[in-house]
Amino acid sequence: MAVVVALAASAATASAAIILVYGDSLSAAYGLPQEQGWVHLLAQRLHAQKLDYKVANASLSGETTDGGRNRIEAALRTHRPALVIVELGANDGLRGASLEAMRGNLEAIVDACRRANARVLLVGIRMPPNYGAIYTEKFQGVFGEVARSRKVPLVPSLLDGFSANRDLFQADGIHPAAAAQPVMLDTVWKGLRPLLKHQ
């Protein structure tokens, strides 16, 4: 069962729009206190910049695009977001899942958000090179294909700027450490800020 943590981005009125972060362990602050994760840091930044949004985090460690597709309607009903940050696919890649299925799942998630009148920011991920050049290139291409077909903005990789720096990962070598979380926020912010209403 999903554990959903809503983070107030302002002292906030009931009218504050909701940003729903819909991802996997990379957005669920795996291995870290929640307040160190990039999603919590996002709520703090929104508050600091006096942007009237609240952040809800419906990310689940281990989530795949298939699982995300199955959960999205309920998450949209629960949170009624104005904007959804979709960060899924890493676990599909780690399992060597069908890229065609992954693309279809991501498109279905975007379509569900659109039906709920929510804007979407798609956040991709790059696989480690040991998965082979052909698979990693095709995997990365899926995010661009979905962004183009559904006409949504894309952050190419959540780990941009530090993926080769082992010091910024936890002992498992997969999950980013606390020191990497502000970098992840800055990466997402570049795509997110243009979607936020000016106040």
Beta strands in 50-138 (DSSP E): 53-57, 83-87, 119-123
Choose, from 52, 111, 160, 175, the residue flagged as catalytic: 175
Choose, from 25, 47, 79, 92, the residue flagged as catalytic: 25
Cα distances (angstroms) measured from residue 60 to each of 31, 45, 145: 13, 23, 24
Tell me if residue 111 is catalytic.
no
Q: How is residue 80 written in tokens?
A: 């009624």
The set of residues, in sequence order, having a beta carbon less than 8 Å from that of 19 and lying 6+ positions away, is: 9, 42, 46, 53, 54, 55, 56, 81, 82, 83, 84, 85, 192
Tell me if residue 59 is catalytic.
no
Cβ contact 22:59 at 8 Å: yes
H-assigned helices in 116-177: 133-150
Q: What residues act catalytically? A: 25, 172, 175
